[in-house]
Amino acid sequence: MSFIWRMNGSFYLAERVRVGTEWKNKIIRRATEDEIKLYLELREHKYITVYMTCDNPSCDRSVRTTRNRKMKLRTEDPKKGRLEFVYCSKACREKHLSDLTAKG
């Protein structure tokens, strides 16, 4: 699988290859203007700041995070087999967990 690699201020289309026991980047060719533009747009898109609401139903506060982190939090981790929850504070998390255990 190829990817855009920035080296010495220039952009290249490269791929990871195994040389002996090491992985190295092998340059395929210089990246085109369209590939560079798309790469920069996608890179910027990952770091846009977004707000998520606190997962405690009785709380109306928001938590600031990056779009990339939000996507990771809101998709199920196949290794863990569960979702992660976001709280605005430790006190809010503990209150929500105590409410859940009291109902159960």
Same domain for 92 and 74: yes
User: How would DSSP label each residue in 71-82?
Assistant: HHHHS-BTTTTB
Q: What is the distance of C-alpha 53 from the center of its chain?
A: 18
Q: What is the pLDDT of residue 95?
A: 93
Same domain for 76 and 59: yes
Same domain for 97 and 57: yes
Same domain for 96 and 60: yes
Same domain for 91 and 54: yes
Same domain for 60 and 87: yes
Same domain for 67 and 34: no
Give the domain range for residue 27: 2-45
Q: Would you call 9 helix, strand, or coil by DSSP?
A: coil
| pLDDT (mean) for 75-101 | 83
36: left (phi over 0), alpha (psi -120 to 50) or beta: alpha
Residue 85 has pLDDT above 90, yes or no: no
The number of folded domains in the chain is: 2
104 or 41, higher pLDDT: 41
Which pLDDT tens digit goes with each residue over 37-52? 888 888 877 777 888 8
Phi then psi for 100, rounded to 5 degrees? -70, -40
